[in-house]
Amino acid sequence: MSKYSKEVKEKVISLFEKELSPFRIAKELAIPESTVKNWLHKFNLSHNLTHKIGKQVFSADFKCKVLETRWKDKLSFKETAALFSLDNPSLIAAWQKRYLEEGILGLQPKPKGRPPMKTKKEIKIQVDSSQKSDKERIKELEAENARLKYEISFYDDFMKEMREIAKPNRAVKKAQTIAIERLRNIYPLQFMLKYFGISRSTYYARLASIKKRDKYVEEREAIHTLVSMNKGRYGYRRIRIALHKLGFNVNHKVVMRIMKEENLTCKVRLKKYRSYRGTEGKIAPNIIKRNFTATKPDQKWTTDITEFHLFGRKVYLSPILDLYNVEIVSYEISERPVLTQVLSMLDKAFKNRPDSKGGILHSDQGWQYQHSTYQETLKNHAIIQSMSRKGNCLDNSVMENFFGLLKSELLYLEEFTSYEDFINKLRDYIDYYNTKRIKLKLKGMSPVEYRTHSQKVA
């Protein structure tokens, strides 16, 4: 017998149609608010609150229809119960459990009372009978077919959730647990755990771990943004400095742990750079002598040429680097390593830094730097020429390091659609290197920031 009469349920609907809230209806009729909401939900779906007296018996065909509708339309137990005017949603859950365990036979109505005791003769006949009727075989095959369809439907829904949840850097078990939790309104938890071979205790332990508030949620998002913004060029040290600039006070160990958990790594260099060399000679002394420190901007410059091979063509980059803050003062890009490329680079440098007189410009012994026009240009701008020793690339290691960095962070990380696309991205990288890429030796500032800061202090 139902706890509430048909008249009470009709009264609830009547009050609801008068625009009373479920809370007020529950208070007025002294009924739990959850019960009122359940009735209203059922009425909204089926427009029926039929009051049934006595226990109902449902056929196996009706139960199959209910379950098939639930699985096909991905309805919850409450929605399915309301659709078929069933008072108890847990009844559908029980049918589903029996169907998954026993197949179609589990949905057959069971006779009342205790089954009669079998005689020894009946038992013997049953044991000896190894032949099953065609009807029984068909029913078993139908049950197996339905079970497989159910599993396929579940697998499709599960993979859909995984594609939405899973990330390259997210643990598979974590994503799996979230997907199972999302599907609990459609599929029984016991079925899903059995499908994946997970115990209930393991599942709930994982779920508790996920729901536990992470105190570094904002830091994780910021780290993801910084890694993406810098295209994987920052390791945990630079990420920590960048976080401090954003107002996050975390130490390097926390940053390193978060990056490890999120599978965020700094891209390593793939090759050691070998720079282009012209013919060798002895024109100027090695004034720098590997003393690559400078006390002010434009005191010491260094230059070299590097070569790229892309799309069947060659690209030559000729930059000038300021040893004070490792900033690229000027550069020139060309398809051939010609003298005009180097002279154009010098003109840009002198325009950018008109107060560079008296400074030193260091290079290797490439033929361009031995040319009389190059030497004359330096003299006209009061620049002192310095050259590395013969065959010793360590005498210009700062520029070699820049070229290695350029190739590892641009050439080996980026994808290029054309020769022109590479040129554009090369220019973008040099701008990024000067204005945004922070360096530990520059107190966590970019080269331009460091120079601007030092000039303000001075």
Give the tens place of pLDDT for each residue, 238-263.
888 888 888 888 888 888 888 887 77
| Tokens at 452, concatenated | 């601007």
Give the tens place of pLDDT for each residue, 1-41.
456 777 777 777 777 777 777 777 877 778 887 777 777 76
Tell me how far apart the 2 most distant CA atoms of the chain are, in Å. 122
Q: How many domains does the chain have?
A: 4
Question: Can you give the pLDDT at residue 50?
Answer: 53
- Using pLDDT thresholds of 50, 70 and 90, give the confidence band for residue 282: low
User: Is 13 among the domain residues?
Assistant: yes
Residue, of 198 and 332, whose pLDDT is higher? 332
Of 161-175, 212-226, 414-428, the range with the lowest mean pLDDT is: 161-175
Average pLDDT, integer, range 302-310: 92
CB contact burial 115-131 (16+ within 10 A = b; e otherwise): eeeeeeeeeeeeeeeee
CATH of the domain at 371: 3.30.420.10
Q: Is the pLDDT of residue 316 over 90?
A: yes
User: Is 290 among the domain residues?
Assistant: no
The answer to whether residues 162 and 232 belong to one domain is no
The answer to whether residues 201 and 222 belong to one domain is no
- Using pLDDT thresholds of 50, 70 and 90, give the confidence band for residue 271: very low
The answer to whether residues 59 and 104 belong to one domain is yes
Question: Can you give the pLDDT at residue 281?
Answer: 47
The answer to whether residues 309 and 406 belong to one domain is yes
Question: Can you give the pLDDT at residue 115?
Answer: 59
**Tokens 């009709």 sit at which residue?**
10
Average pLDDT for the chain: 80
The answer to whether residues 186 and 230 belong to one domain is no
Question: Can you give the pLDDT at residue 110?
Answer: 67
Percentage helix, strand, coil for the chain under 3-state DSSP, each rounded to 5? 55, 10, 35
Q: Which of 75, 96, 111 is the last residue of a domain?
A: 111
- Using pLDDT thresholds of 50, 70 and 90, give the confidence band for residue 276: very low
User: Is 310 among the domain residues?
Assistant: yes
User: Is 407 among the domain residues?
Assistant: yes
| Tokens at 307, concatenated | 């070569």
Share of the chain above pLDDT 70, in %: 83
Question: Can you give the pLDDT at residue 280?
Answer: 42
Residue, of 443 and 458, whose pLDDT is higher? 443
The answer to whether residues 345 and 446 belong to one domain is yes
Average pLDDT, integer, range 215-237: 82
User: Is 273 among the domain residues?
Assistant: no
CA–CA gap between residue 325 and residue 442 (Å, rounded): 7
Average pLDDT, integer, range 321-348: 95
Question: Can you give the pLDDT at residue 160?
Answer: 84
The answer to whether residues 89 and 16 belong to one domain is yes
The answer to whether residues 86 and 164 belong to one domain is no
Q: Which of 68, 95, 111 is the last residue of a domain?
A: 111
Q: Name the strand (E) or helix (H) holding 182.
A: helix 172-182
Residue, of 21 and 128, whose pLDDT is higher? 21
Q: Is the pLDDT of residue 425 over 80?
A: yes
- Using pLDDT thresholds of 50, 70 and 90, give the confidence band for residue 277: very low
Whether the Cβ atoms of residue 305 and residue 275 lie closer than 8 Å to each other: yes
Secondary structure (DSSP) of 297-347: TTSEEEE--EEEEETTEEEEEEEEEETTTTEEEEEEEESS--HHHHHHHHH
For the ranges 71-85, 277-291, 306-320, the one whose mean pLDDT is highest: 306-320
Give the tens place of pLDDT for each residue, 345-393.
999 999 999 888 899 999 998 889 999 999 999 999 999 999 988 767 7
The answer to whether residues 447 and 322 belong to one domain is yes
Q: Is the pLDDT of residue 167 over 70?
A: no
Average pLDDT, integer, range 66-92: 78
The answer to whether residues 308 and 440 belong to one domain is yes
Closest among 64, 67, 22 to 43, alpha carbons compared? 22
Domain residue limits at 46: 6-111
Q: Is the pLDDT of residue 47 over 60?
A: no
Of 122-126, 214-218, 240-244, 260-264, the range with the lowest mean pLDDT is: 122-126
Q: Is the pLDDT of residue 88 over 50?
A: yes
Share of the chain above pLDDT 90, in %: 26
Q: What are phi and psi of 304, to 5 degrees?
A: -170, 175
User: Is 267 among the domain residues?
Assistant: no
Q: Is 303 helix (H, G, I), strand (E, B) or coil?
A: strand
Q: Which of 185, 211, 237 is the last residue of a domain?
A: 211
**Tokens 């609830």 sit at which residue?**
12
Residue, of 162 and 119, whose pLDDT is higher? 162
The answer to whether residues 326 and 388 belong to one domain is yes
The answer to whether residues 421 and 440 belong to one domain is yes
Q: What are phi and psi of 292, to 5 degrees?
A: -90, 15
User: Is 120 among the domain residues?
Assistant: no
CA distances from 451 to 252, 302, 405 (A): 26, 17, 21
Average pLDDT, integer, range 194-213: 84
Q: Is the pLDDT of residue 121 over 80?
A: no
**Tokens 């700062």 sit at which residue?**
398
User: Is 133 among the domain residues?
Assistant: no
pTM of the complete model: 0.48
CA–CA gap between residue 37 and residue 22 (Å, rounded): 6
Question: Can you give the pLDDT at residue 187?
Answer: 84
Q: Is the pLDDT of residue 109 over 50?
A: yes
